[in-house]
Structure 1
């Protein structure tokens, strides 16, 4: 994906328009003047980073989006098809919401994909960023909720409590996605972060939110689990395969937080090579985060498969027999109907 063609001729207008996906590509700096956010006093040549996620990466965006939508739809269909599995997997409401979040993210991927210049307008730009991050925040909060509360609630908790918690988590995710939504704009047919300095505060808030949800939350889960094991108290939090989800977003939160510190000049990069490495890390972390939309439904399916097989031995024998009879009858109903 991407290319790295050197550019010799450029202007100030071109420097300010070098804003690709999520505006993480830095601008050029010449001599004594700095037209970007980095200051290199002795620079002779412009500092130009490779853009991995440019027009040539459009097939990657489209493929990830299609795989995510298909996988999420298949998991949702499997979870909602058979009420018998609801007893075997009491966490199916949370799993279904995770699949919905993955489907929403997959829908936003082509909206923000570079190369679809004809489809970009301010409304789609804002909607794409809001769906992108709000769905990711919701999935992270749902995984934390499942790890800490859902196993303790068990099958006896009321639907009202589940619905209230779900609405609260999705509402919180929607609010957390507003800063990045308000800081976006369209430039030369690309959906990017606005270059206005007045919106720098919103971008910093967004970076802090990503660092807190994608980095601090999983670290907090691991710390709580280690403390619980050390004290031998309680089953919370519950480790599951769903925690793998954070592997795809943890680098994004770390690198985005570091990039925010560099942009705010809290940290200074001494060389152009360091800036290019940071830009490369941002794009790689972004690509890894995009891949989650195809992997997240598989994690949900794997968790449900394990929960179902773990619950089967605990069911009474009549219930297991009735489940097998129901399955047999559903398979034999079609031939009997045809014979009649």
Structure 2
């Protein structure tokens, strides 16, 4: 086993450095204690490539089918379908970066240079913000439509939903600026000189701003806590309203699908945010972990929860297939047109006959998600 002792200059660097999308798994080892890093590196080198490969295969297949179904019915998109399209694009953009992060986890390290390091890291951030913001847009539109009978979008204003999606992309791009500025491919002597794609934040004494802490605070508040409050409020209000009176089988089924998407999002992203928050508190000496074992456990937890967050990109199409009746029907029709032998279930056909027509502005009944 190789033990590494860090001097004062090393600690000054580590306190202001973060390691990109996978975050700084080993950025702050035991302060004042010599810790072995090989166990965590071996775990990372095996776990990340396996999980990322699985996510890539399932995600590209699922999102490819999703985008194919949307393209097939592009003449009859609903508001929800437009948001789903943008979700599928964001997920696909993130998925194509997974082979590069998997390569970094191996002994090869980051071999793609600093420019692509910035691009890949920024895509991670953009996808995260786009995903949660688009879900917030969907929940807000459903909340206004069902609870207050007020329609944010309508056929008379088709540009409004496009403007909303464009605003989400622009805001997400704005929030990814720290990645474009600070991400670099740097050699890490603590890992045998392996090059990694990491954030190279300036020292606090040079900038008078703790960029590391500031970027984490923005990530936790704007990218998670605030949207979480919006989602919980909107869907709690919708569920309460639906219990008070009849709103149609079709509309209740639409809420069921979208609610499933939100729940899965929180299941995938909450562990990562909680673990990263603990890591942030430890990095800023607010929380002290006294043993190397506890620090190694935290590093492994961050690796596992990051992989879980990436898997979210593969789960949305699965939800559409198992919960969305119309998505299944459209998918089966598309496969039939390609020569595949498929059979519609009697339940799906019966459900379609039972459908009720929802409001013109929401056009919920035309969405592939129900």
Q: TM-score under structure 1 normalisation?
A: 0.73
SS of alignment partner, residue 53 of structure 1: helix
Query: Cα distance, 1:11 vs. partner?
Result: 6.6
1:73 and 2:68 aligned: no
Structure 1 CA distance for aligned equivalents of residues 352 and 157 of structure 2? 20
Question: 2:199 is matched with which residue?
Answer: 193
Question: Gaps (5+ residues) in structure 1?
Answer: 1-5, 30-38, 317-340
Q: 1:102 to 1:260 in 2, by over 3 A?
A: same
Question: 2:40 is matched with which residue?
Answer: 50
How many residues are matched? 297
Q: 1:77 to 1:225 in 2, by over 3 A?
A: closer
Of residues 70-79 and 160-169 in structure 1, the stretch that sits farther from structure 2 once superposed is 70-79
Structure 1 CA distance for aligned equivalents of residues 110 and 35 of structure 2? 30
- Residues 108-187 of structure 1 correspond to what in structure 2 (within 5 A)? 108-113=97-102, 114=104, 115=106, 117=109, 119-150=111-142, 152=145, 153=151, 156=155, 158-187=157-186
Pick aligned residue for 1:258 from 272, 278, 281 = 278
1:240 and 2:259 aligned: yes
Deviation per CA, 1:217-264: give whole Å up to 9, x if none. 2244224544666798999x9552211122111111121122112211
Question: 2:219 is matched with which residue?
Answer: 210
Q: 1:125 to 1:249 in 2, by over 3 A?
A: same
Is the radius of gyration larger for structure 1 or structure 2?
1
Structure 2 CA distance for aligned equivalents of residues 311 and 146 of structure 1? 23
Of residues 179-188 and 198-207 in structure 1, the stretch that sits farther from structure 2 once superposed is 198-207
Work out whether residues 183 and 202 of structure 1, in 8 Å CA contact, stay in contact via their aligned partners in 2.
no
Which structure has the higher relative contact order (CA within 8 Å, separation 6+)? 2
Question: Gaps (5+ residues) in structure 2?
Answer: 146-150, 188-194, 248-253, 330-347, 358-370
Query: Cα distance, 1:105 vs. partner?
Result: 0.8
Query: Cα distance, 1:297 vs. partner?
Result: 2.6
Q: TM-score under structure 2 normalisation?
A: 0.67
SS of alignment partner, residue 186 of structure 1: strand
Structure 2 CA distance for aligned equivalents of residues 54 and 187 of structure 1? 18
Query: Cα distance, 1:50 vs. partner?
Result: 1.7
1:286 and 2:309 aligned: no
Structure 1 CA distance for aligned equivalents of residues 309 and 23 of structure 2? 13
Structure 1 CA distance for aligned equivalents of residues 113 and 286 of structure 2? 34
RMSD after superposition: 3.6
Q: 1:56 to 1:149 in 2, by over 3 A?
A: closer
Query: Cα distance, 1:101 vs. partner?
Result: 0.9
Of residues 212-221 and 239-248 in structure 1, the stretch that sits farther from structure 2 once superposed is 212-221
Pick aligned residue for 1:8 from 3, 8, 13 = 3
Question: 2:27 is matched with which residue?
Answer: 26
Q: 1:262 to 1:299 in 2, by over 3 A?
A: same
Question: 1:324 is matched with which residue?
Answer: none
